[in-house]
Each structure stands twice: as C-alpha cells, then as structure tokens.
Amino acid sequence: MKHLWKGAVAVAFATGLNMVPAQAQEARLAYVPVESHPVGQAVNRFAELVKEKSEGRINVQTFPGGSLGNEPQTQSSLSGGFLEMMVGPTSNLVGAVPEFGIFDLPFFYPSFEAVDAVMDGPVGDKLFKRLEDIGIVGLAYWDNGFRHMTNAVRPINTVEDIKGLKIRVIPNPLFIKTFEAVGANPVPLPYPELYNALESGTVEAQETPVGLTYSDKFYEVTKYLTLTGHVYSPYVLLASKSWFDGLNEADQAIIKEAAAETEPYQRGLSRDAADNIANVKLVEEGLEVTTLPPEEQQKLRDMVAPVIEEFSGSIGADLVEEAREDIKAATAE
C-alpha cells in the first residue's frame, strides 16, 4: 500500500521501544498455492525479510499447498487466534466483510493500473480497517491476476459456448450469480477439491488466474483456455489480530515493513509471468487458447450489469463509487 511503513522501525526505536525486552517469536504462515507459485515465492521473501529485520528473533514458518487446511479453514483459524498468518484471495473474506466483494465485481477493472489504484488507495485502507472487526489484520495486497476460464468440453468463442457448462466457482454469492447470469451452471467448491472434481467430471470448467491453471496443472484435466479476464481478485497477506496485538510495537513495525516491501515484489513476479504462461507454457502443455472477440466481451458485460447493480448495495454504493473514481483517475491518461 502507499504508506509503506518506511522508517517505522526507526521511529519505534527512537521512542524508546528498544527498551522492551526482545523475545523470540514463532509464527506459522499458511497458504494454498504451491511454493513455486508467485505467492509461495513472496511468502518466502517475506519470511526472509522478517528474519533479517528482527535479527533472527522472529521466525516465520511457511506451510504451502493447503497443508494447514483450505482457505476458509485457515481464515477461521486466523480469526479465532489459532493461526498467526495466512495468504488467501479476497473472495473468501466476503462472507465476513461484504465490502471485499468490490474485487469480485465482473468486468469492473480494465487494467492493473485500475486495480492498483483501488488496492493502494483509500478504498484498500478502509477494507483492511474493516478486517479488525473479525480479528484479522491486513498486511499487504498481492496480485492474483485476472481470472480466465478453462474447460474440458469445447472452445469458447461466443457467449453461447458458455451456456450449460458446469463450472467450479469460489463459494461466494457474487461468483455464483455472475456465472448464472451468463448461462453457466456454477458449482461452489473449496479450491483444494478442484483438481479432483475436474478429473472426475463433477465439474467441466474452472475459472482462475493462469498462474494457478499452470502451477496446479489444470491443463491435465481441461482442454480449452478462454482469456475472459472477467474478475480481478487480489491475494491478501493477513495476520491474526490477537497474535499481532501481542507483539511489541517495534516487532509490529517489522512485520508491516516486511509486508509492504513484498507488494511490488510479488505483483511483479505474478504479472510478468502471466502473459508467458497463457500464451506459451499452457499452449506447450496442450491447451487451446482463445480470446473472446470484443463484441462477445460486450455481451458478457451487458449480461452481468444487473449483478453489479445488485451487489453494489451489499458492498456499499458509496465505496463502489469511490473505487470507480479512483479507477477513472488512474486510467485517464
């Protein structure tokens, strides 16, 4: 975020916090993607930064691949104070903090510049503030890329080709309504169940950023990739409020500073990889890649417009409008 907490550690020490007895801290950080994914790489970088800045006093133990549970489970553990940190998509926060649905609005963000303006601006700050009500501290917004569709049935060249597809979606009402609006048959499932569901035919399609399509080998169980870019859902680095509040202020500043430094690092990794994955690596793995023509994209926008209107109420009309203004300013040039 824009306030990168630069100098926070120095300020903390300058106010005498260096007199607080230093204690060793162990913290577990759970996430679902594999370690080679940009999230895994950034988690490792975060752990290194924390160790370096704390001179080895704070040890962040990392748990990739959903080894401590799926994202709803780890989020519940985080909120309850049974887990120290996690990374997960904002979509899973919507049930507890509806305002995070602003990142699930279909065809709302035209570019990375647009989403960064919202994440790094007042809207992003307000959303992180709301997390405190459920016992969570927001530390950083990371990239999850624009979401695209793969399926095992047919190439998608028109809106009609989407109709009837059994597609796995995040267990989130906005995602369900979006795919109902375009004629698909949405099936909400936790992410760790997705590969097996595709392999067994329980679902025929899925929609994730291409980084996950590649790292989790969905090309083995689907045949067609369609670059729809329909939703942008960030990842967020989160901490348990009870754990975080138990740290002294100098250590809190270390965690925040390390988290802020990972934002440009992780976003760069993720975005630099996305084009190559979509147009080279997934093609090499046998996926047929298509992009919907502009007129078909417009049809989808028209079909989901009522969904945006419906969910703007639960998200907060003022917040949605504030995000629109930030997007407009960021994309005006």
Query: What pLDDT, in 10s, does the model give residues 242-283?
Result: 999 999 999 999 999 999 999 999 999 999 888 899 999 999
Average pLDDT, the chain: 91
So what's the pLDDT on residue 215? 85
DSSP secondary structure code for residue 20 in this structure: S
Q: Which of 65, 63, 29, 40 is nearest to 139 (CA)?
A: 29
**DSSP string covering 109-156:** --SHHHHHHHHTSHHHHHHHHHHGGGTEEEEEEE---B-EEEESS---
pLDDT(2) > 80: no
- Please report which confidence band the pLDDT of residue 91 belongs to, taking 50, 70 and 90 as the band edges: confident
pLDDT tens profile 149-180? 999 999 999 999 999 999 999 888 889 999 99
pLDDT tens profile 181-196? 999 999 999 888 999 9
Mention every residue, 6+ apart, whose C-beta is less than 8 A from residue 71.
32, 86, 88, 89, 92, 190, 191
So what's the pLDDT on residue 240? 98
- Domain locations in the chain? 8-145+233-274, 148-231+277-330
Distance between CA 184 and CA 207 in Å, rounded? 12
Give the pLDDT mean for 58-65. 96
For β-strands 185-188 and 136-142, DSSP reports them as unpaired
Q: Locate tokens 């960021």: which residue?
A: 330
pLDDT(310) > 60: yes
**In CATH, what number does 8-145+233-274 get?**
3.40.190.170
Give yes or no for a contact between 207 and 169, defined as CB atoms under 8 angstroms apart: yes
pLDDT(12) > 70: no
Q: Give Cα 122 distance to the centre of its chain.
A: 18
Distance between CA 111 and CA 128 in Å, rounded? 22
pLDDT(7) > 70: no
Q: 8-145+233-274 and 148-231+277-330: same fold?
A: yes
pLDDT tens profile 216-225? 999 999 999 9
Give the pLDDT mean for 305-320. 94
Specify the DSSP element, H or E, that contains 82: none
**In CATH, what number does 148-231+277-330 get?**
3.40.190.170
pLDDT(20) > 60: no
Q: Locate tokens 């419906």: which residue?
A: 310
- Please report which confidence band the pLDDT of residue 133 belongs to, taking 50, 70 and 90 as the band edges: very high
So what's the pLDDT on residue 126? 98
So what's the pLDDT on residue 275? 85
Q: Which of 77, 61, 65, 73 is nearest to 28 (CA)?
A: 61
pLDDT(288) > 80: yes
So what's the pLDDT on residue 73? 94
Query: What percent of the chain lies above the pLDDT cut of 70?
Result: 93
